Amino acid sequence: MSYSASTVVVVGSINVDQLITIERHPLPGETLIGTSMELLPGGKGANQAVAAAQLGAAVSMVGLVGRDPQAEVATAILTRSGVNLSNVRAVDGPTGLALVTVAADGENTIVIIPGANALLGAEAVEASATVIAEAAVVVLQGEIPAEGIVAAMRLATGRVVLNLAPVIELDAASIRRADPLVVNEHEAALVLAQLAPKMVIPTEDAELVARLLDWGVPSVVLTRGAKGAICADRDGTHSLASPRVVAVDSSGAGDAFVGALSAQLAAGSSLSESVRRAVRVGAFAVQSRGTQTSYPSLADELPLVRA
């Protein structure tokens, strides 16, 4: 089939990130004084859409925001990046919110209040059936209801990239629709436990990937932070290193990775070629604060993997 101009369609969450910086994360019951606070656009779906668009992909976003002032904040960089927002609708209730705390060492904690994203079920997704069906790549994440994910998969005629983060309950047939399934090592273990409840879950990353393939997932990308990623499909398994950089803020780096991966797949690159570029994009993103504000454009020089 011939695909429309919206080569990548992201069906997913749109949030405002309340970003707090702090010297270290508090212990349970402890109160600490932070160093700064700002409101920034976020949400895994929106992050991935921005990352793909800034790397040259034609992107449409399917999602929901609230009828509140936060909606404008949440969509500001989507608009600036040229993402088509004609399938983003306003509903009664608040726009999604993520409470992000980043310590001086770059490690983060995130608490999400779904807001409007919780309403992105089957009916809301089906309202965008045409744009989803025409996409070369449809990108999904775990920040929307499972029924919305399943509906998008049913409508998709192109490749489905499923970043099951956070891990939510999905039926086995839907998990096997992912091509690729993109997860970190913790998420991989949880997904494998859904597919094979009686299995002793392996602890080695490569073994997790192999078992997911054994249980019918067509292709898998396991992200490993500073260690890069492992990808596997019918062409083989590849371990791809990440550039060495100084991490300032790791929040949103996984979404930068998924956006870059999706853009490359839509452009016709192989899975391993796409992952090779995505690890460099993720490494770029951790070098500055925020999520969407840290993502590269085509004009930026990505860090290199050195031998």
Segment 63-76, tens digit of pLDDT: 999 999 999 999 99
Tell me what pLDDT residue 6 has. Answer: 56
SS3 230: strand
In this prediction, residue 100 has a pLDDT band, given cuts at 50, 70 and 90, of confident
Sign of CA dihedral 4, 127, 10, 177: negative
Residue pair 65/88 in contact by the 8 Å Cβ criterion: yes
Q: Which residue in the block uniquely carries the two structure tokens 């956006």? A: 259
Residue 23 has pLDDT above 50, yes or no: yes
pTM of the model: 0.92
Percent of the chain with pLDDT over 90: 89
For residue 293, give the DSSP letter.
Answer: G
Q: What are phi and psi of 262, to 5 degrees?
A: -65, -40
Tell me what pLDDT residue 5 has. Answer: 47
Residue 307 has pLDDT above 80, yes or no: no
Token reading at 246: 């100084």
Is 255 part of the annotated catalytic residue set?
yes
In this prediction, residue 107 has a pLDDT band, given cuts at 50, 70 and 90, of confident
Question: Could you tell me which of 71, 55, 67 has the C-alpha nearest to residue 14?
Answer: 71
Helix or strand (DSSP H, E) at 15: strand 15-22
Long-range contacts of 34-40 (CB under 8 A, 24+ apart): 34/101, 39/70, 39/73, 40/16, 40/73, 40/290, 40/291, 40/292, 40/293
Tell me what pLDDT residue 218 has. Answer: 98
Known binding-site residues equal 15-17, 43-47, 143, 184, 223-228, 249, 251, 254-255, 285, 288, 290, 294
Q: For the residues 199-223, what does the mean pLDDT come to? A: 96
Active-site residue (options: 179, 214, 255, 300): 255
In this prediction, residue 290 has a pLDDT band, given cuts at 50, 70 and 90, of confident
∠ CA 124-112-179, nearest 5°, is 60
Tell me what pLDDT residue 25 has. Answer: 95
Q: For the residues 33-56, what does the mean pLDDT come to? A: 96
- Which ranges of 176-216 would DSSP assign to H, the alpha helix? 185-195, 205-214
Tell me what pLDDT residue 102 has. Answer: 87
Known binding-site residues for K(+) equal 249, 251, 285, 288, 290, 294
Tell me what pLDDT residue 162 has. Answer: 98
